[in-house]
Amino acid sequence: MNSQITFTLEKKDVFQLYEKLYFHEIDSREKLNSRLQTPLTLIVSFVGVLAFLLQNYGHQGFSLAAVLFSALIVLSATALASAAFFFVKSWYNNTYSFLPSAQETENYRQTLIKHYEPYKNGDQLASEHFSDYLMAYYVRYSSDNTACNDQRSIYLHKTNSALIITAAIAFLAFLVFFFGGLDKANIKKTTDISIVNPVVLIGGNMSNEPKKLNPPPPPPPPPPRQIREGVEVVKPKNVVPIQPGSKANGQ
């Protein structure tokens, strides 16, 4: 009797242990998801840094600074691509195992009760088999989730290592870019001057000086307005308008 009690207590302790391990792995999953936010931010930032360096790079031909800068950019981009690859492996397409839904679990418990109901100790048998059902799932799914979390942790570690290498190489590339005079904003460019219109030089005693022309006479003024009193306005016919500076007829 005492050995039976000891066995029952040990089984209960083991059940609680596997239950804690199962929920511990579920909690580790959420922590890993939170830890992935920082690498994602760094990857996006390094993409912006490399794009900035390439956009402002002024190619001046073959030089030691240009060759060194190009090699560092290629190495940095390679390390960044490796970081992105390991990040995707750690973040995407990972399978976790969970217990069936509460309704399915309860249906199974009711099935066990009905299954062992004809027997004398049917309730105890149903309870024991239900505990075995839960413990078997805890053991199996906890192991599966542990393997999944361990693999994701390895990928996350590789992601962080690749990001550290990317940061070091990108910093060296920036130093070469800055001190090697590769910034296109600091490169002196030749100024091209083109004459669109011919330049006319005006001076005295020049053979091509335009001749002075006498101004033309002014245009004729508008005709006078004649009014027939009490009737209408009469349009003038064959009236010669007075030119400025001339005398009127009859004067």
Q: What is the pLDDT of residues 222-240, one digit of tens each?
A: 666 555 555 555 555 555 5
Residue 35's pLDDT is 93
The mean-pLDDT minimum among 6-10, 74-78, 110-114 falls in 6-10
**In the block, residue with structure tokens 């679990």:** 105
CATH of domain 2-98+145-186: 1.20.140
* Contact (Cβ atoms closer than 8 angstroms) between residue 177 and residue 54: no
Tens-place pLDDT, residues 125-155: 999 999 999 999 999 999 999 999 999 999 9
How far apart, in whole angstroms, are the C-alpha atoms of residue 70 and residue 197? Answer: 44
Residue 200: pLDDT band (50, 70, 90) is low
Predicted TM-score (pTM) above 0.75:
no
How far apart, in whole angstroms, are the C-alpha atoms of residue 123 and residue 109? Answer: 11
| Alpha-helix residue ranges (DSSP H) falling in the chain | 2-35, 37-55, 64-91, 102-116, 122-179
